[in-house]
Structure 1
Amino acid sequence: MIREFSLALALAVTGQIAFAGCAGQEDTCEIPMGAYHIELPDADNAPMVVFLHGYGGSGSGTMRNRGMVEPLLERGYAVMAPEGLERPDRGGTKSWNFYPGFGERDETAFLTEAVQDAARRFGIDTDRVLLGGFSAGAFMVNYLACESPDTFSAYVPVSGGFWRPHPETCNGPIRMFHTHGWTDNVVPLEGRLLGGGRFQQGDIHAGLEIWRDANGCVDHKPTGFSTTGDFMRRRWTTCAEGSALEFALFPGGHTVPAGWADMIVDWYEGLPGS
């Protein structure tokens, strides 16, 4: 099938399993605004998770996180890992244009172009595409969702929210599941100062309040609590029709935790209309 062909071709080309490329081809998928990697499940018209790497990371690095990618493929989801723009002022380090001065590319247009390209080339179901990201990628997820909430079906950031000053308001409603490590010291729950105080990461709980407002939630208090393995989850459900907001903490630091992929798919497939 498609996945087995992709792995076999990678082995033939490199002599070892290479988890990157364009659905089995060694090179990335090139589009006018950038590039992306993609792996496909054994299914047609598949849903997809687009996952944005962190600061200094890469799309190929994202695809090497097999603890995240393999469960998504097994659940029938394609996995796309776009490449951030290189920053010449940082020696070619890659990141995302979510904050003034971080780049010039219109990331919403780029990601939309990438999804449309994947739909044309690989038959992706564009009505079932989730946007996730880690760290700087998660910051990008939040800012894109804030400005253009209808771009993706749902948003699933890990270890990243907003920067200070926080947005005064966000467009909505949205469907979001935010995951964060209790001991994260790179993007602490309270935020931190960077660049000698020139930049300030935002407070994750303040961001959740912004999302409750965007979703028209009638109360700040969660309406439900649950656990999934080590994940401690809380949700808000007395909100606008079609919205969803959930937050999960895990007892770890700055990472995409084990079990995240299955938890996110279970959440998404439990939403009305998904």
Structure 2
Amino acid sequence: MKTTTATFLFLSGLTGAAQAACGPEPDACLLQDGEYHVVLPDTKSARTPMVLFLHGWGSSGDRTLNNTGMVNALQARGYAIVAPTGSRSVGSGNGHGWTFYPGWDGRDETDFLKRVRADAADRFDLDEDRTLLAGFSGGGFMVNYLACKEPMAFAAYAPVSGGFWRPHPTECAAPVRLFHTHGWRDTTVPLEGRILGGGRFQQGDIFAGLEIWRAANQCPDEKATEFSETGHFWRRAWTGCTPGSALELALFPGGHSVPAGWSDMVLDWFEDGLTN
């Protein structure tokens, strides 16, 4: 349900702060049960592809656009950046999280994110079929759970610093196209996982999550079949799996962040999958 006009005005604003508008003011695009922000590439073509990027725990869609390194790199490649806000209020501020964990009450995030994509595509002439769902930290967890439940909902998935919580899913639907990026020194979402909430929750092991994806995609072997390096990223991929699937891991020597160079690396992977 649209509650604002379909006119888009891109505001260049102050250096270092990406801004966008859904109408004549730099406000969020509103749906009945949520909101999103959007920036378009400087040169826009018909049916522009988009990256639907999910913020981390305690953040919001508008704050996503403050990551100008990531946003500018995606824009330079001709992509719109669509940044929705999670439905779970975090603390006393205006931070939010995602209802990704099985059994949590709240908004159906899968349905919401599909409606965000459709609304943005309609407002700004974007391409629903060329949409990469990506997310950082809590947003990365949301990406994994959505991909597990409904892998065909988006063209591909690119979680950063977020996997599954324990108990891990027993299985995921497939085929899925997923590119996972993680910092070697991440202590917020460690590769091995950690205990949260005084023992009420436990982040899962990233490599155990990859085992679930290999099983879903029916990969012929546990070990990776391709190894490469892109800048400071160490990459490993599993090939020979179910047709239409893709699975890759990229590690970088940093902590809990969306690393420099991620945008171009993941878009190269995404675009290669669209042509194969």
Shift of residue 86 of structure 1?
A: 3.8
- Alpha-carbon RMSD across the aligned residues, in angstroms, is 1.7
**Which residue identity lines up with residue 135 of structure 1 in the other structure?**
S
- State the Cα deviation string for residues 196-222 of structure 1 (Å, max 9, x = none): 111000000000000011111010111
Which residue of 1 is the match for residue 141 of structure 2? 139
Shift of residue 269 of structure 1?
A: 1.2
Corresponding residue SS for 1:126: strand
Whether contact under 8 Å (1:97, 1:105) holds in the other structure is yes
Which residue of 1 is the match for residue 30 of structure 2? 30
The answer as to 2:11 corresponding to 1:7 is yes
Shift of residue 7 of structure 1?
A: 2.8
Q: How does 1:196-211 map to 2 (within 5 A)?
A: 196-211=198-213
Q: Which moved more, 1:114-123 or 1:97-106?
A: 97-106
The answer as to 2:216 corresponding to 1:214 is yes
Shift of residue 238 of structure 1?
A: 1.2
Shift of residue 227 of structure 1?
A: 0.2
Shift of residue 270 of structure 1?
A: 1.3
- State the Cα deviation string for residues 130-164 of structure 1 (Å, max 9, x = none): 00000000000000000011110000000000000
Q: Which moved more, 1:262-271 or 1:178-187?
A: 262-271
Distance in 2 between residues matched to 1:176 and 1:56, nearest whole Å: 25
Whether contact under 8 Å (2:10, 2:20) holds in the other structure is no
Distance in 1 between residues matched to 2:175 and 2:102, nearest whole Å: 25
Which structure 1 segments of 5+ residues have no match? none
If each structure's helix is expressed as a fraction of its own residues, which one has the higher value?
A: 1
Distance in 1 between residues matched to 2:254 and 2:35, nearest whole Å: 32
Corresponding residue SS for 1:167: coil
Corresponding residue SS for 2:127: coil
Which residue of 1 is the match for residue 270 of structure 2? 268
- Normalised by the size of structure 1, how large is the TM-score? 0.92
Whether contact under 8 Å (2:11, 2:26) holds in the other structure is no
- State the Cα deviation string for residues 61-110 of structure 1 (Å, max 9, x = none): 1101011001111101110110112427x335410001146540000111
Which residue of 2 is the match for residue 69 of structure 1? 71
Distance in 2 between residues matched to 1:78 and 1:118, nearest whole Å: 10
**Which residue identity lines up with residue 206 of structure 2 in the other structure?**
I
- State the Cα deviation string for residues 24-56 of structure 1 (Å, max 9, x = none): 741100111210000111222111000100000
Whether contact under 8 Å (2:11, 2:19) holds in the other structure is no
**Which residue identity lines up with residue 124 of structure 1 in the other structure?**
L
Distance in 1 between residues matched to 2:88 and 2:221, nearest whole Å: 42
Which residue of 1 is the match for residue 19 of structure 2? 20
Distance in 2 between residues matched to 1:241 and 1:94, nearest whole Å: 37
Distance in 1 between residues matched to 2:102 and 2:169, nearest whole Å: 13
Quickly say closer, same or farther: Cα 1:101–1:242, change in 2 above 3 A: closer
The answer as to 2:229 corresponding to 1:227 is yes
Which structure 2 segments of 5+ residues have no match? 1-8
Whether contact under 8 Å (1:87, 1:103) holds in the other structure is no
Quickly say closer, same or farther: Cα 1:194–1:231, change in 2 above 3 A: same
The answer as to 2:244 corresponding to 1:242 is yes
Whether contact under 8 Å (1:233, 1:246) holds in the other structure is yes
Corresponding residue SS for 2:158: strand
Whether contact under 8 Å (2:47, 2:125) holds in the other structure is yes
- Normalised by the size of structure 2, how large is the TM-score? 0.91
Corresponding residue SS for 1:110: helix
Shift of residue 271 of structure 1?
A: 1.6
Which residue of 1 is the match for residue 92 of structure 2? 91
